[in-house]
Amino acid sequence: MYDGIDLRDAESEALYLSGIMQCVAIDVNKGTPAPIDSEIIKKYVDKTTMNTPPQRHQFLPLQPDNGDVFRWKTTVQWRDVDYNRHVNQTSYLRFMYDAGSSAAVAGFLRSFHHELIHYKLKTYTMEYMQEIRQGKEFEVVCWEMDDNPGTIHFEVLVGDRTFSRSHLISDAQPIANLRTKHINTLDDLICVLYVAHRREDINWGRGEK
């Protein structure tokens, strides 16, 4: 099931952010996909204008012999996990920003030289491939291609296995004045993802008890 998300101004209806999530219900006891309740499908399918699923993004794979990447390690904390006892989708975005900002400040990225919050995010795409549990140590690998400035590619690795991959496309020119009135891009995305995840009538991933 695909879930569309829009973030709009409460007064002017101006569109600030738009996104699509592919949602899968998981049986937490078996760790396998579970059917989505027919009442939920009936309630939300009629409200969408999407007749066909969006085309899946093709990520640029990490080359095992490519040493020109930045590596950032951390450990999953309790705040990073959710009801399903795995890393919540909103936490992955924080991981990307922390790893990418560390790479930029260290002078590793060609187009970015400050924390990523200084740059206007245009597009964010992520694919979740496997679950990561609390207490697990993992590594975020990021890199930028010479022929595609402004795009940072990421892979989340546990050992030599890829658990998630994503990319951030940003305006390579930093925001001139962070004191001006604007919405924090990272907080926007985390807020929208959290609200979508917490919708009371859709218990994504909770499965059968």
* Residue 91 maps to a domain: yes
- Look at the pTM and tell me if it is higher than 0.75: no
* Residue 8 maps to a domain: no
8's tokens = 């709009």
CATH of the domain at 100: 3.10.129.10
* Residue 48 maps to a domain: no
Domain that holds residue 156: 57-197
DSSP annotation string for 67-116? ---EEEEEE--GGGB-TTSSB-HHHHHHHHHHHHHHHHHTT--SS--S-G
Residues counted in the chain: 209
* DSSP H or E segment with residue 185: helix 185-197
CA-wise closest residue to 103 among 93, 114, 95 = 114
Total domains, the chain: 1
* Residue 102 maps to a domain: yes
Give residue 182's identity as a one-letter amino acid code.
H
* Residue 123 maps to a domain: yes
* Residue 209 maps to a domain: no
**What is the distance in angstroms between the CA of the first residue and the CA of the last residue of the chain?**
21
* Residue 1 maps to a domain: no
The pLDDT value given to residue 113: 93
Give residue 1's identity as a one-letter amino acid code.
M
* Residue 146 maps to a domain: yes
pLDDT beneath 70, residues of the chain: 1-3, 22, 44-58, 60-67, 175-209
